Amino acid sequence: MTGLRIDRNQCVGCGICAKTCAFGALEIKEKKAEANDNCALCGMCVDVCPFQAISIEKEEQQADRTYRDVWVFAELTGDRLAPVVRELLGAGRKLADQKGCRLAAALIGGGNAFREAELISLGADVVYFCRDEKLADKREEPYTAVLKQMVERYRPEIFLFGATAFGRSLAPRLAARLQTGLTADCTGLSVEEENGLLRQTRPAFGGNLMATILCPARRPQMATVRPGVMPPAQADTGRSGIVREVPLPEFPERIKGIKRVPLPPAKSIADAEILVVAGRGIGSRKNLSLVTEFASLIGAEYGCSRPLVDGGWCEYPHQVGQTGCSVAPKLLISLGVSGAIQHLAGISRAETIVAVNTDPHAPIFSVSRYAVVGDCVEILKEWIRMLKCR
């Protein structure tokens, strides 16, 4: 049984544990500590007890070793693979090679969703697919039923999803059905050398620290992965693999699609080929209009550093960096951005960076190909004037 154990012979009733407990779970009764139902087994009292009177007993749970292979969910956008699938396959391939197992893709879709060859060219050894017109619309209920059936039959050890709107909704549903854990929004994945467990790393506490989470006892180990963070897999059309069809299971049809209304395509700075990024060096909210004007003149999207979002100058979807969006443009023009580590984390995949900053020692220059030392507002005005004269 898992639980808090207090050795009454060692306990002297000093009360340090009760003062430390953040949950009010310890009381001193008759000069001995006693735990109540509030105990969350956080272990703080164990660490502070000077008499080693407190311990946590944990039931050893063994993972089921019949689960093998690394899987990725091959989410479709229309009939095409969602961009994050390439990134999952890139990361999944590395994990599978490290573990010496196969990489598989789970593909679900309507009648035209033939993506097996592409998935194999991108690194999958096996593709499990379920194709039916009932699956043409991405809906959680049927997709959960299909994936649950696939997992119970083929038993993957690791199952990765893109942290897209659909992935974030589907993965926890499936994890709950399979009674396993799920780490959401991972930015790093690796394998523990000593026991082969998946190390799932994600920002925690508002991005102030990185937490690495393990799922030692339940299978599969499930994670959603933040889009735009992992390098995408490169296609190799010479690869071969196995394709297996999985029948459509019964599922509750509580939701019926009535009509499909296409939304105008949402533009994300993650997909921008040319990106102009403004930092606090632009000086004022008013100057942001120069940035947007310049961006539209050169056919670019615009992004910003975090202080501009915090200050209400820009909306969050424009934020670049660790707690914003990871971008990979061909050309990034950075204006008045210092280049703090959390910002650089979001631009590491930009091909060419042109940076403008008044400080010749600004860290942004360490990652930029072209460094312009000067006032970005003056330079922006000049660039706009020149572009308009063309």
Ligand X SMILES: Cc1cc2nc3c(=O)[nH]c(=O)nc-3n(C[C@H](O)[C@H](O)[C@H](O)COP(=O)(O)OP(=O)(O)OC[C@H]3O[C@@H](n4cnc5c(N)ncnc54)[C@H](O)[C@@H]3O)c2cc1C
The binding site for ligand X (CB under 6 A) comprises 207-208, 279-281, 283, 305-307, 319-324, 336-338, 340, 342-343, 346, 356-359, 362, 375-377
CB-wise, 45 or 320, nearer to ligand X?
320
User: C-beta of 228: minimal distance to ligand X in Å?
Assistant: 12
- Minimum distance of ligand X from residue 247's CB (angstroms): 45
Smaller CB distance to ligand X: residue 171 or 377? 377
* Residue 268 C-beta: closest distance to ligand X, Å: 15
Phi, psi for 256 (deg, rounded to 5): -120, 130
Which residue number is nearest to ligand X in terms of Cβ? 321
**For residues 169 and 323, which CB has a smaller minimum distance to ligand X in the complex?**
323
Considering the complex, what minimum distance in angstroms separates the CB of residue 347 from ligand X?
9
Nearer to ligand X, 220 or 321 (CB): 321
Compare residues 148 and 381 and give the one whose CB is closer to ligand X: 381
Name the β-bridge partners of 127: 105, 243
Q: How near is the Cβ of 366 to ligand X at its closest, in Å?
A: 12
Could you tell me the smallest distance in angstroms from the CB atom of residue 285 to ligand X? 13
Using the minimum distance from each CB to ligand X, give the nearer residue, 206 or 265: 206
